[in-house]
Amino acid sequence: MLEIPQEMVDRVVAHGRRDHPDECCGVIAAKDGAATRIFEMENAERSPTGFVFDSQEWLRVYRDIDDADEELLAVYHSHTATEAYPSRTDVRWSATAGFPHWLLVSTRSAELELRSFTIEDGVVTEEEVRVT
């Protein structure tokens, strides 16, 4: 289960719609497992079919989180023409990226489509998004 406040859900959805037709991406940090902060990141690839964290921005964000003794809770990104479900590319990157949760939003329609997953050893498992 991924537990995040309504404000973060709204931010992720708004970010996805703003960057559409390109994919958006970002990070949610936590302290002792509870979501604390959301970082809207640049998609260095500026692509409708992929995202890459900008390496300089990622260094600043990671250090900010680490220095505050917070941890990485979730990485989020959008799919712009397909469902909010991890692609093979997502599964491949999940092995080394170090995020417990993968939060996806689809911006293919006006309908809200936000889903969260754990990906372990290539196995994708959907989980509840509990909004607080």
Partner 1 sequence: MAIEVRIPTILRTYTGGEKLVEGSGDTLTALLDDLDSRYDGLRGRLITDAGALHRFVNVYVNDEDVRFLGGLETKLADGDSVTVLPAVAGGSR
- Applying CB under 8 A, the residues found at the interface with partner 1 are 23, 25, 45, 47, 49-53, 55-56, 58-59, 62-63, 66, 71-72, 75, 77, 79-82, 86-87, 89-90, 93-99, 102
Closer CB to partner 1, residue 62 or residue 129?
A: 62
Distance, in Å, from the CA atom of 43 to the CA atom of 24, rounded to the nearest integer, reads 6
DSSP 43: B
Our CA dihedral for 5, 36, 104, 124, rounded to 10 degrees, sits at -110
Closer CB to partner 1, residue 4 or residue 51?
A: 51
Closer CB to partner 1, residue 14 or residue 59?
A: 59
